[in-house]
């Protein structure tokens, strides 16, 4: 079983350091001293990549120097479809690398850090989309506090069938207009206790322009592939302990949602196992975790089942939980819901209305 000992700093860059990345397009000498590197890890998705790439390159009147670095996990001696796409752009800010061998998902995320030249590294997955004013808005947020080491961006969702090629969809909620006005240039700190309360990933995926100090990414040792599929959550949990991590309250990008490996049954089961082990570890190592497990273990188990396990084929709850710790307790269930949901809502509301 995973242990929180494994999320301590290890040199994950060393795992693939002997595999080179070849610069196929662009010149590092032709465009110097970018402040921000927008990095796009990709693999065999040129149609999606085109949309992501254009959203990065076509930022509205950017107020800083930035580069866009595409790192491809597919190597070819011939001109691949992805390379052909990249060569359509005549832009000094664009660099395109191919890894000589497939580094895997996690290895490629780490290679993005290695190849970035900016003081700040902004991740953009090859199927996600930045808003045209993302760059200037993230610069405004970075200038708000001196201690910022990273910002996780909030985003709209692009669901399957929605056409992001033409006009990006607007948020459909009737409350979105008010929220968008209140959330402008607002930040909310993300702390480890947030994950302890939820027993889960409160940070979100590191994409859609989520941005980090490159020096902090390097000193943190990179993402750990042995913690798949929760490697990004555990990395950000450890990152938020060492560094100051925030969330943008304003939506700055579009996150594409469709059925992928993260939703397969075996992956969902792995997510559940990781969350259960995380609960055990924080109950041992933190006061809040110990309190919640002592008084609300049944309620925690019910919440985990509902969130991670509802549509898992062939599910047997007792494979994961003691039957005595699954019994429903009405009063404690109400208290647990008020405590955990109320905590997050009050925190979000406070930072939304604060000047």
Q: Where in the chain is the domain with CATH 3.90.550.10?
A: 14-258
Place of tokens 């559940």: 272
Lookup: tokens for 296:
């609300």
**Secondary element (H or E) of residue 57:** helix 46-57
Parallel, antiparallel, or unpaired: how do β-strands 94-99 and 21-25 relate? antiparallel
Lookup: tokens for 77:
């001696």
> Vertex 128, ends 55 and 131: CA angle to 5°?
40
- Determine the pLDDT at residue 166: 44
Please provide residue 211's backbone torsions phi and psi, each rounded to the nearest 5 degrees: -125, 140
- Do the beta carbons of residue 332 and residue 298 sit within 8 Å? yes
The Cα 35–Cα 120 span in angstroms is 6
Place of tokens 């350091």: 17
- Determine the pLDDT at residue 308: 63
Distances, alpha carbon 292 to alpha carbons 25, 280, 339, in Å:
53, 11, 10
- Determine the pLDDT at residue 7: 61
- Determine the pLDDT at residue 182: 87
- Determine the pLDDT at residue 164: 52
> Residue ranges of the chain with pLDDT lower than 70?
1-7, 161-175, 258-263, 308-316
**14-258 fold:** Spore Coat Polysaccharide Biosynthesis Protein SpsA; Chain A (3.90.550)
- Determine the pLDDT at residue 153: 97
DSSP 42: E
- Determine the pLDDT at residue 222: 96
The Cα 86–Cα 94 span in angstroms is 8
């Amino acid at each position: 079983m995973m242990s929180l000992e494994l999320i301590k700093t290890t040199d994950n860059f060393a795992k693939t350091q002997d595999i080179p990345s070849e610069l196929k397009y662009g010149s590092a000498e032709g465009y110097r001293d970018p402040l921000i590197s927008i990095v796009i890890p990709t693999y065999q998705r040129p149609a999606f990549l085109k949309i992501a790439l254009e959203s990065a390159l076509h930022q509205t009147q950017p107020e800083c120097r930035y580069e866009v670095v595409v790192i491809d996990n597919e190597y070819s001696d011939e001109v691949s479809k992805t390379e052909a796409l990249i060569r359509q752009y005549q832009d000094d800010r664009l660099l395109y690398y191919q890894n000589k061998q497939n580094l895997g998902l996690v290895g490629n995320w780490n290679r993005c850090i290695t190849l970035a030249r900016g003081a700040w590294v902004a991740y953009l997955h090859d199927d996600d989309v930045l808003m045209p004013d993302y760059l200037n808005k993230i610069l405004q947020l970075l200038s708000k506090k001196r201690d910022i080491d990273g910002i996780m961006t909030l985003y709209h969702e692009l669901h399957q069938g929605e056409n992001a090629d033409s006009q990006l969809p607007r948020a459909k909620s009737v409350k979105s207009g008010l929220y968008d006005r209140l959330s402008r240039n607002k930040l909310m700190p993300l702390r480890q206790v947030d994950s302890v309360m939820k027993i889960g990933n409160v940070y979100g995926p590191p994409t859609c322009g989520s941005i980090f100090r490159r020096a902090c990414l390097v000193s943190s040792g990179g993402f750990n592939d042995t913690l798949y599929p929760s490697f990004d959550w555990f990395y950000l949990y450890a990152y938020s302990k060492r560094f100051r991590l925030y969330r943008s309250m304003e939506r700055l990008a579009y996150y594409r949602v469709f059925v992928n490996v993260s939703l397969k049954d075996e992956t969902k089961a792995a997510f559940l196992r990781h969350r259960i082990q995380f609960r055990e570890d924080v109950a041992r190592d933190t006061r809040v975790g110990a309190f919640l497990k002592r008084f609300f273990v049944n309620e925690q188990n019910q919440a985990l089942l509902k969130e991670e396990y509802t549509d898992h084929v062939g599910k047997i709850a007792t494979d994961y939980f003691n039957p005595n710790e699954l019994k429903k307790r009405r009063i404690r269930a109400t208290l647990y819901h008020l405590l955990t949901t109320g905590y997050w809502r009050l925190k979000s509301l406070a930072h939304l209305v604060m000047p």
